[in-house]
Chain A
Amino acid sequence: MTRHDPTVSGSTGTTTHASAPAEDALVGGPRRGRVRRSGAPLPLLLPALVGLAFLLLPLIALLVRTPWHSLPTQLASTEVWQALRLSLVSATAATAVSMVLGVPLAWLLARTDFPGRGLVRALVTLPLVLPPVVGGVALLLALGRNGVVGRWLDAWFGITLPFTTAGVVLAEAFVAMPFLVISVEGTLRAADPRYEEAAATLGASRFTAFRRITLPLIAPGIAAGAVLAWARALGEFGATITFAGNFPGRTQTMPLAVYLALQNDPAAAIALSLVLLAVSIAVLAGLRDRWITAS
């Protein structure tokens, strides 16, 4: 929660907000003066170490088996760059779609009260737990050429979504948007709604208050949600291959390229995986203040 509160970021404890000292202590607490009892008990230490090894071993294996000498040639291939470019572009587009639609949705869930809100919330989070392949099938049934909505899109506007780059973006947005909505909704709930009331007494309509007050206040939460959504979109496989297929240059994203390469050219698959690993580490590094040190 503290990480979403813009009033505390960078505060030196001299702020006038009543909550600041407490938040400050929360952030600073683990770092200073905590008494540590030495020696973790074995029943906890052992599984912890096994778990750590389990998480790290595959990554180490990836690095160990990387054909470093042929790596430059592998990465120089047009197909790699095509897939990487497509992945970055479509993940970014999917994140943009998620933000444009997801932030208002999060606001609706956090700030208004309507019958069946709990149900709507559950439905929004469904893609989080739904197997992505099922999501892809569902997307086909909705937006496919013969889909519930897709047939009209085709008949009226000549728009076909499946097996296009736009389809990739949709499939990725479908699985990634819930991450953003949940993150932004949490930030909104933690943000003091009385700022919006203060804005109202000053003459701001609800939309103006949202745009000029709430949005800047929850910006850190939106950023965190966007990164989560982007990472999820970048790794998206099941819904994409089901809904958009696997056409190099058009719908073949990095995860799809990796999977395909593994069938006939394992060295290429390793090289591609390495690129994705590098991207992930870069994202993590970008978030280190937020998630690694602040927790």
Chain B
Amino acid sequence: MTAARSHASPTSGSHGAEAERVTEEARDRGLDARLVVDRGSFHLDVALTAAPGDVVAVLGPNGAGKTTALRALAGLAPLSGGHLRLDGAELDGVPPEHRPVGVVFQDYLLFPHLSALDNVAFGPRCRGAAKVESRAQAAELLARLGLADHASARPAGLSGGQAQRVALARALAIRPRLLLLDEPLAALDARTRLDVRSQLRRHLAEFEAVAVLVTHDPLDAMVLADRLVVIERGQVVQEGSPADIARRPRTDYIAQLVGLNLYRGRADGHTVRLDTGAAITTTEELSGPAFVAFPPGAVTLHLDRPSGSSARNLWRCEVSGLETHGDQIRVDLTGELPLAADLTTIAAAELGLHPGALVWAAVKAAQTHAYPA
């Protein structure tokens, strides 16, 4: 599995060769797709490639086209253009029942009138296996997923986590070459989510073919997938390893997801000048269009202009909002540039922060991260 794991990243030059290898390999093994779906005002055009063993997460806000892409892969929605090849075979035009594609639906869609065992045996049965054989196969799969005791239970009698595993077993039972998961953890409560997420990670790591999961939750995406494809408004806006995307977000949506302040401007040496006129001093030396990112925790706030501070970046800001964020306070600031700062509760109390308060915001150059746009 780890040998096949690959982090294609068109955004960074050093990964370019590997990205090419993925595409090369995907041509006869794995997934090679360009999904074009036109539906009235909505236009989806997303390229997806993955080698066997890869877990790819398609991440995006609601309405970005994630589910449409997934339905197109499953054959439940027709392509308007592009192509869809799996292990070298063209799947476009092949009806869903003849595709080697397993789907775990968001709310699982377990057949309510069938037991867990019969739900899992349904696929093999439909694909021609004998009744006894498909039930034996289903029982084995359920046992592997730790559900041997629940084989005879109806879906209504299963917990959320159990239902999720039955749905996974049902999709795996047809021995898919492409496994699709639609918001696999969205239907679970927060506590169950933690357990199920780590279980699912283990099961996906064991899966030998391509897995594509669709989610709007960055944590799910980063924990479960080797590679993220971020889509917004039907287009891929960024693609790469979770770490890479978290470090170098390219859109406000991604920056918000990973909790970074993100600015776009023009770099000239160690300074990036924004369109608003504000300037950010950075350690990296760049020229031309650039992004600058830094975490809210890197921002310090002061009531009086700090003297003798080592921070190279200092802006006059106004507090526009305060919000508890775990054991910290997230302060939203406006002024020379929009800013989010994380303070401890004590620090916030000492500063006497309230909406409308004027403060100085400081960020050390060493804590910023600049990269070409």
Report whether A7 and B156 are in contact in the complex, using a CB–CB cutoff of 8 Å. yes
Q: Which of A17, A200, A202 interacts with B95 by CB under 8 Å?
A: A200
Q: Whole-angstrom distance from the CB of B97 to the nearest CB of chain A?
A: 5
Report whether B163 and A16 are in contact in the complex, using a CB–CB cutoff of 8 Å. yes
- A202 to B109: give the CA distance in the assembly, Å: 12
Q: Decide if B4 is an interface residue (CB 8 Å cutoff).
A: no
Report whether B113 and A6 are in contact in the complex, using a CB–CB cutoff of 8 Å. yes
Q: Decide if B223 is an interface residue (CB 8 Å cutoff).
A: no
**What residues on A are CB-neighbors of B126 within 8 Å?**
199, 202-205, 208
Q: Decide if A11 is an interface residue (CB 8 Å cutoff).
A: yes
Residues 58-103 of B contacting A (Cβ, < 8 Å): 74-76, 95-99, 101-103
**What residues on A are CB-neighbors of B127 within 8 Å?**
202-203
Report whether A16 and B158 are in contact in the complex, using a CB–CB cutoff of 8 Å. yes
Q: Decide if B52 is an interface residue (CB 8 Å cutoff).
A: no
Q: Decide if B242 is an interface residue (CB 8 Å cutoff).
A: no
Give the A-B pair count, Cβ closer than 8 A. 79
Of the four ranges (under 10, 10 to 19, 20 to 34, 35 or more), the interface on chain A belongs to: 20 to 34
Report whether B109 and A200 are in contact in the complex, using a CB–CB cutoff of 8 Å. no
Report whether A197 and B156 are in contact in the complex, using a CB–CB cutoff of 8 Å. no
Decide: A201 near B101, CB < 8 A? Known: A11-B156, A16-B160: yes
Report whether B156 and A200 are in contact in the complex, using a CB–CB cutoff of 8 Å. no
Q: Decide if A67 is an interface residue (CB 8 Å cutoff).
A: no
- A254 to B174: give the CA distance in the assembly, Å: 56
Decide: A202 near B113, CB < 8 A? Known: A16-B163, A17-B107: no
- Stretch touching chain B among A126-134, A140-148, A210-218: A210-218
Q: Decide if B170 is an interface residue (CB 8 Å cutoff).
A: yes
Q: Whole-angstrom distance from the CB of B191 to the nearest CB of chain A?
A: 14
Residues 192-244 of A contacting B (Cβ, < 8 Å): 192, 194-195, 197-205, 208, 212-213, 216-217
Q: Whole-angstrom distance from the CB of B167 to the nearest CB of chain A?
A: 9
Q: Whole-angstrom distance from the CB of B300 to the nearest CB of chain A?
A: 44
CB nearest neighbor in B for A194:
B109
Report whether A203 and B97 are in contact in the complex, using a CB–CB cutoff of 8 Å. yes
**What residues on B are CB-neighbors of A204 within 8 Å?**
97, 122, 126
- 9 A-B pairs besides A201-B75, A202-B173, A204-B126 with CB distance below 8 A are A16-B155, A16-B156, A16-B159, A16-B187, A18-B107, A18-B187, A202-B122, A202-B126, A217-B111
Closest 3 CB pairs of A and B: A202-B123, A203-B126, A198-B109
21 sample A-B contacts, Cβ–Cβ < 8 Å, listed by A number: A11-B156, A16-B108, A16-B160, A16-B163, A16-B187, A17-B156, A195-B109, A195-B111, A197-B109, A200-B75, A200-B95, A200-B97, A201-B75, A201-B76, A201-B96, A203-B97, A203-B123, A203-B126, A203-B127, A205-B126, A217-B111
Interface residues of B (CB under 8 A from A): 74-76, 95-99, 101-103, 105, 107-109, 111-113, 122-123, 126-127, 155-156, 158-160, 163, 170-171, 173-174, 187
